[in-house]
Amino acid sequence: MAQNSLVLDPIADATRMLQQLKHRTILPTVSSVASAIASLALAISGVPSASAQSIRGWGLIAYRDVDDLTNLRQVAAGGFHSLGLKQDGTVACWGSDSDGQCRAPDGLDDATMIAAGYAHSVALKSTGSVACWGRNDFGQCTVPQTLQAATGIAAGGYHTVALQQNGSLRCWGNNGYGQCALPPALIGVSTIAAGYAHNAAVRADGTVACWGLNSHAQCDVPAGLDSVTAVAAGWSHTVALKKDGLVACWGDNYFGQSAPPPDLPAVEAIAAGYAHTAVVASDGSVWCWGAWSAGSCSTPPSVPALPMIAAGLWHTIALDLDGAPQTWGTNDAGQTTRFSIVGSVVTADLGSGHTVAVDGNRAVSCWGSNSFGQCDVPKGLGPVTMVAAGMEHSAALKMDGTVECWGSNQFGERNVPDDLGQATAVVAGNYYTAALRLDGTVAFWGASFNGEREIPPDATGVQMLTSGLNHLAAMRSDATIRCWGANDVQQSQTPAGLGPVSMVSAGALHTAALRTDGSVTCWGHNEQGQCDVPAGLTGVRMVSAGGWHTMALTDDGAVVCWGGSESGEGQVVDSGRVAGRVPIAVVAGSRQSIILYAAAQSPCGPDLDGDGFVGSADLSAVLSAWGDLGAANADVDRDGVVGAGDLALVLASWGPC
């Protein structure tokens, strides 16, 4: 369900940002802004928007430090999340963050190896110590204090294994099937692997030992197996790579995961998932066998790969020749998203289990759940200015003002009205879609179980439209709010005396408003504290209401979250601050959060005319160059195009340097 969709066009952005700055001591004059906007409106139509240079997300679906996923050293695949080890020793993560498995410890910048369990992650540091994070219900992330310097790691379903420098093993976590009961006299180990509830180890002499759950003979090592250089452990099968490049499999074979193709060439790397096996051959080709139903073996054509591959529950990751991850398989938590396509972001929206984004080229990207085709972006969609993500469908506002929808159409949520006319914004709720027309009226189509279709007669002159699960909220030209639809927890009951607002955001069952004095007011459902605005929170310039949490972006670039802790969506690290980047937007989803960043500038970066004061001349320079590519002087955030990011930096820096 869409939470807060923003269209980034110069007129709307300048007006909204000016309103949000009314609580400042030093303000741009209304006349200077108005004249610049008027000139711009006469000169242009269909203006492109600025792009954020990076995106970070967390919660049920996460994407952390994924702005540069090339030249990776290693990849690892967990139950529903993926890890990438960067050259600088930091760890990137995308996919599910339901248990914090995508939240690497602060300061982790010397990792040399990574491993992913069902819902936890592990890193081996250059010092030989081990770091674990994520789910810890069986102690799988509680590293033993007596662990000696390690040289290898493996993560199973709910347990972790480390290979110590002396060739011995340590195991911690769930031991329900004996997976942490190490075989006696198991020494001289060279490499290890962990499956759901069993482990495999290669001894120095090339033989293999297995222990733990043996429900499908996954621990019955074939007689005479030797000369093994690597092992991989799946849910209930085991794979071994021999020195001559041959592959041996044993254990569960219900889906054919233990039956290598007869024409399989010599292999250099192996991986085992829930019910599939994947390998990289010596010629760089990727082979996969086993279950196909979830796409885990739907290997992309012509993927020349480095000798590195990883298999999760139902997804697979290989590294191409540039060290970038190539992923395929189930994507219900975004674990197979190629994030290079969202390295530059105009705007994004979060649905119940999927994310839709517009990149700097106005193309649409989508990841997450696709059970109803909500991520099957139509071919030839054309340049897009705004997107919306509903429960099981998606919508896009094109630059010509028309709207297109895809995904589920069970209640007509894709059936755009013929008389819609030109739209300026689109939002998506539970099983419905709504659009803001150019004349400030609202159009609605789809399911109306709670009066969502009953647009109030006074919902006119609307400047901002936002949708929750089953209610909508609109900000009118007089800076007041009108809500309608479901009101079972007073989410549509605007508080008396709210005062003038500059922004409104409808969450699943609550609503948040940004007042012109920079304060935030929330109302509606408050089971997880999503309406408990932190005491003393002021100077806010953007607010976004999610499923069970609320996010705010302050004037000084801090991101503040409250509510929602089940999937960590309400827990922001370091107030969202990232070196060299400036947060320009926040979006709260049902169980996830994202921040859009632009490149940071010096305090006088927006002083385009060099007069020591950021003012109307600088604002006019940005607006007059809006949409230009390569206009270096007006491109304050250095993203290659003059747009909303540059405008935000000028307004945020207004006054003397």
- Cα separation, 297 vs 387, in Å, equals 31
The predicted pLDDT at position 302 comes to: 57
- Cα separation, 254 vs 390, in Å, equals 37
Residue at a domain's end among 580, 599, 618? 599
Element (H, E) at 10: helix 10-20
Residue at a domain's end among 582, 599, 616? 599
Q: Is residue 653 one of the residues assigned to a domain?
A: no
Tokens, residue 29? 């004059």
Task: Examine the domain organization and report whether 313 and 433 are in the same domain.
Answer: no
Chain Cα centroid distance, residue 467? 21
Task: Examine the domain organization and report whether 442 and 494 are in the same domain.
Answer: yes
Q: What is the pLDDT of residues 93-110, one digit of tens each?
A: 888 887 889 889 989 999
Q: Does residue 204 have a pLDDT over 90?
A: yes
Domain housing 279? 70-329
- Cα separation, 402 vs 378, in Å, equals 14
Q: Does residue 498 have a pLDDT over 70?
A: yes
Tokens, residue 349? 């929206």
| Residues 130, 95 contacting (CB under 8 angstroms) | no
Closest among 283, 223, 234, 252 to 77, alpha carbons compared: 234
Which of 70-74, 83-87, 260-264 has the least mean pLDDT? 70-74
Task: Examine the domain organization and report whether 421 and 450 are in the same domain.
Answer: yes
Q: Does residue 402 have a pLDDT over 90?
A: yes
Task: Examine the domain organization and report whether 262 and 318 are in the same domain.
Answer: yes
Q: Is residue 191 one of the residues assigned to a domain?
A: yes
Residue at a domain's end among 273, 304, 329? 329
- Cα separation, 568 vs 140, in Å, equals 19
Task: Examine the domain organization and report whether 31 and 95 are in the same domain.
Answer: no
Task: Examine the domain organization and report whether 111 and 255 are in the same domain.
Answer: yes
Task: Examine the domain organization and report whether 366 and 323 are in the same domain.
Answer: no
Task: Examine the domain organization and report whether 238 and 376 are in the same domain.
Answer: no
Crossing angle for the helix pair 30-43 and 616-624, nearest 10 degrees?
Answer: 10
Q: What is the pLDDT of residues 245-279, one digit of tens each?
A: 999 999 999 999 999 999 999 999 999 999 999 99
DSSP state of 52: B
Per the prediction, the chain carries an average pLDDT of 84
- Cα separation, 296 vs 276, in Å, equals 7
Element (H, E) at 616: helix 616-624
Task: Examine the domain organization and report whether 227 and 365 are in the same domain.
Answer: no
Instruction: Give the CATH number, domain containing residue 234.
Output: 2.130.10.30
Task: Examine the domain organization and report whether 241 and 386 are in the same domain.
Answer: no
The predicted pLDDT at position 344 comes to: 60
End-to-end Cα separation, the chain, in angstroms: 42
Residues 466-488 as b/e (b if ≥16 CB within 10 A, e otherwise) read: bbbbbbbbbbbeebbbbbbbbee
Residue with token string 């060739």: 167
Task: Examine the domain organization and report whether 380 and 495 are in the same domain.
Answer: yes
Q: Is residue 62 one of the residues assigned to a domain?
A: no
Task: Examine the domain organization and report whether 366 and 391 are in the same domain.
Answer: yes
DSSP state of 650: H
Using a 10 angstrom Cβ sphere, with 0-12 exposed, 13-18 middle and 19 or more buried, the burial of residue 619 is: buried
| Residues 264, 255 contacting (CB under 8 angstroms) | no
* β-bridge partners, 232: 239
Q: Is residue 378 one of the residues assigned to a domain?
A: yes
Q: Which segments of 361-439 are extended strands (E)?
A: 364-368, 384-389, 393-398, 403-407, 423-428, 432-437
Say what the pTM is: 0.68
The predicted pLDDT at position 328 comes to: 80
Q: Does residue 3 have a pLDDT over 70?
A: no
Q: Does residue 84 have a pLDDT over 70?
A: yes
Q: Is residue 640 one of the residues assigned to a domain?
A: no
Q: Does residue 9 have a pLDDT over 60?
A: no
Alpha-helical (H) ranges within 483-580 are none
Q: In this prediction, what percent of the chain has a pLDDT beyond 90?
A: 57
Q: Is residue 226 one of the residues assigned to a domain?
A: yes
Q: Is residue 650 one of the residues assigned to a domain?
A: no
Domain count, the chain: 2
Tokens, residue 48? 């492109």
Q: Is residue 471 one of the residues assigned to a domain?
A: yes
Residue with token string 């054509």: 301
